[in-house]
A and B are shown apart, each in its own frame.
Chain A
Amino acid sequence: MSFVSVGFLIFLAVVIFLYYCVPKKFQWLFLLAGSYAFYLSGGLYMLFFILLTTVTVFCGGLWMQRIKDRSKSKKAAKKINKRILLGEVFLNFGILLLLKYYNFAAVNIGSFFGLFHYDVSLPLINMVLPLGISFYTFQAIGYSIDVYRDKYKAETSLPRFALFISFFPQIIQGPISRYDQLGPQLKEKHYFQYENLTFGLQLMLWGYFKKMVIADRAGVLVSQVFSGYEQYDGLQTFVAMVLYAIQIYADFSGGIDMTRGAAQMMGIDLVDNFRRPYFATSVAEYWRRWHMSLTNWMRDYIFFPITLSKRSAKIGKWGKKHIGGTIGKQLPAYLPTFVTFTLIGIWHGAGWGFIVYGLYNSCVIILGMMFTPVFKRMKTGLHINEKSNGWMVWGILRTFLIMVYGKTISRAESLPAAFSMIRKSVFWFGDGSLLHRLTSMGLNGANLILLLLATGVFIIASVIQEKGIEIRPAIAGKPLPVRWAAYLALIISIIIFGVYGEGYSASEFVYRNY
């Protein structure tokens, strides 16, 4: 069930209404039922996979806890628990890898042998990926690792744990929650609070605005240019690449707003996934602001464990002694950085574009690390004031451009297409008037202006938030006419200017209802 559907809105309204009607001690049970009902709307067979993960990880957690509680030796318990943890990891990531990446691997293995004229054609799996598997698998394994590390005791109730894994607002696109942050909230009794309902609803509205007015509108142009990239000139290509960066951000963050807004209406606070990533002044900072629940997961369960391992310490000592300087010191961080960002790339999907996107990010970050002292000397030599607005703007634009190129690699039809588009986008010559060139990419003048205005609203809101002002409380503090003007403007723009599906035209919707 898509969030952008009448069915979902009705489902959500019913769930929230009944949620506050049922006896408080059964609220979590009711949520569990609602979450599974939501999940079933995707197909019965998907239930098998989410149940498998839920049960194996729950049992693994309890088993590890029992061994810890009953063992006299901490070291011995840890050794056994490591095997249990590895078992859970292999099973659940194994399933994810198989379902998500087997076909990609099979096709590429066939191509590889084809280079040597061997005919190797592996059978392909014909199955739709279970809903949210990339998210709930990571969420479950994060829990397992936390229990292994004694961060908290294992959950003793299977239904409660099942709710943590299947909680419906976050099942489609995260955020990837941590058990100590979300678990207790799901168990608590939630009393109706007007502010939760209104702020949650406003956040959802903002999410719909971003998705339907900005993302889906930009998507029309992006789809057209990316699928027929050879026909477009440099400027058109550049515009499409930039709009893709805007589309994906508005789409993903809009979806997260819908998710968090829905959860807030039930008094549940889900972690935020975005912190104005396009205001980052370096690629490393960008990844501390984009899809934060995934990057934090990677940091805590991949990056830190590798960099703090004994082997890493040995590499660090060797580097400091034999290479010295910045590189000698940073050496132990290079490989974990490379692994982390390559995994982040791969997490996005089975395709060379995603793999190269991961490699691209890791190279940019590692090179940035290596050249830190060089950049520092340059800045001193050129008397650049790092704290100045000009330098900050330069950092933002530079980082945005680097990410636009990276995202083009992940979005383009193929790697050659991506490189062709990036190359072409550097020069903005073309035939015909500027107006004609801009309006022949799938969006007419009116839609382009609307997109620009809506994006402008998004940027202004982001600037306000970056300054530390929380928008919903700020608007709530204004006089009634001002508040309602803002809310109605949002609602009306979604209804009139929202893009409803491919091939849709804004004007059509208004007439369809008559």
Chain B
Amino acid sequence: MHKEETMRDKILEIINENAGTDRDWENQDRMIDDELIDSFDVVAIISDLADEFDVEITVDDMIPENFNSVDAMENLIQRLQEEQE
């Protein structure tokens, strides 16, 4: 439980750093679909996520469903961590 909270907090921090703090990112669930973050932000966020959680995020993972919300990103990273162990 504690580990998941930390991951979620870290993801939020990364989003705030790259896409700005003027939105409540935690409660967004259409970040990509509603274009709240642009392609450059996405690339920067992915780079930071990959570094922070030591996973490899490839273009095959680049679907809106994986990045539309903090939950989605958390699920993606957990899945990648399991697959890439």
CB distance A333 to B62 under 8 Å? Answer: no
A308 within 8 A of B: yes
- Give Cα A299 to B46, complex, Å: 15
B58 within 8 A of A: yes
- The count of chain A contact residues (Cβ–Cβ below 8 Å) is 23
CB distance B39 to A299 under 8 Å? Answer: yes
CB distance B59 to A305 under 8 Å? Answer: yes
B70 to chain A, nearest CB (A): 20
- A interface footprint on B22-57 (CB within 8 Å = 1, 0 otherwise): 000000000000010011100110110011000011
Contact residues on B (Cβ < 8 Å of other chain), bracket: 10 to 19
CB distance B60 to A288 under 8 Å? Answer: no
B67 to chain A, nearest CB (A): 11
A138 to chain B, nearest CB (A): 18
- Give Cα A316 to B39, complex, Å: 16
A153 within 8 A of B: no
One of A149, A284, A309, A310 near B40 (C-beta < 8 A): A284
CB distance B59 to A316 under 8 Å? Answer: no
> Of all chain B residues, which has the CB nearest A310?
B56
CB distance A333 to B43 under 8 Å? Answer: yes
CB distance A288 to B35 under 8 Å? Answer: yes
CB distance B47 to A332 under 8 Å? Answer: yes
B85 to chain A, nearest CB (A): 17
CB distance A149 to B60 under 8 Å? Answer: yes
Given contacts A313-B47, A317-B51, contact A284 B62 (CB under 8 A): no
- Give Cα A330 to B38, complex, Å: 14
B76 to chain A, nearest CB (A): 13
A369 within 8 A of B: yes
CB distance B50 to A332 under 8 Å? Answer: no
A190 within 8 A of B: no
Q: At the interface, is chain A mostly helix, strand, loop or mixed?
A: helix
Which of B43, B44, B60 has most chain A Cβ within 10 Å?
B43
Mark out the residues of chain A between 439 and 466 whose CB falls within 8 Å of any chain B CB in the assembled complex. Answer: none
Determine the chain A residues whose CB is within 8 A of the CB of B51 once the complex forms.
Answer: 316-317, 320
CB distance B43 to A307 under 8 Å? Answer: yes
One of B35, B47, B50, B62 near A304 (C-beta < 8 A): B62
CB distance A330 to B62 under 8 Å? Answer: no
Given contacts A305-B59, A313-B50, A317-B51, contact A329 B39 (CB under 8 A): no
CB distance B44 to A308 under 8 Å? Answer: no
A303 within 8 A of B: yes
CB distance A303 to B60 under 8 Å? Answer: no
CB distance A308 to B57 under 8 Å? Answer: yes
One of A288, A300, A317, A320 near B38 (C-beta < 8 A): A288
Mark out the residues of chain B between 1 and 21 whose CB falls within 8 Å of any chain A CB in the assembled complex. Answer: none
- Give Cα A10 to B57, complex, Å: 52
B83 to chain A, nearest CB (A): 11
CB distance B60 to A329 under 8 Å? Answer: no
Determine the chain B residues whose CB is within 8 A of the CB of A329 once the complex forms.
Answer: 44, 47
Given contacts A308-B46, A313-B47, A329-B44, contact A284 B59 (CB under 8 A): no
By a beta-carbon cutoff of 8 Å, the part of chain A in contact with chain B is 149-150, 284, 288, 299-300, 303-305, 307-310, 313, 316-317, 320, 329-330, 332-333, 337, 369
20 A-B interface contacts by CB (under 8 A): A284-B38, A288-B38, A300-B62, A304-B39, A304-B43, A304-B59, A307-B43, A308-B46, A308-B58, A308-B62, A310-B56, A313-B50, A313-B56, A316-B47, A316-B51, A317-B51, A330-B44, A332-B43, A333-B43, A333-B44
A-B contact sample (6 more), CB < 8 A, given A313-B56, A316-B47: A288-B38, A299-B39, A313-B47, A316-B51, A329-B47, A369-B40
Which are the 4 A-B pairs with shortest beta-carbon distances?
Answer: A305-B59, A307-B43, A308-B59, A316-B47
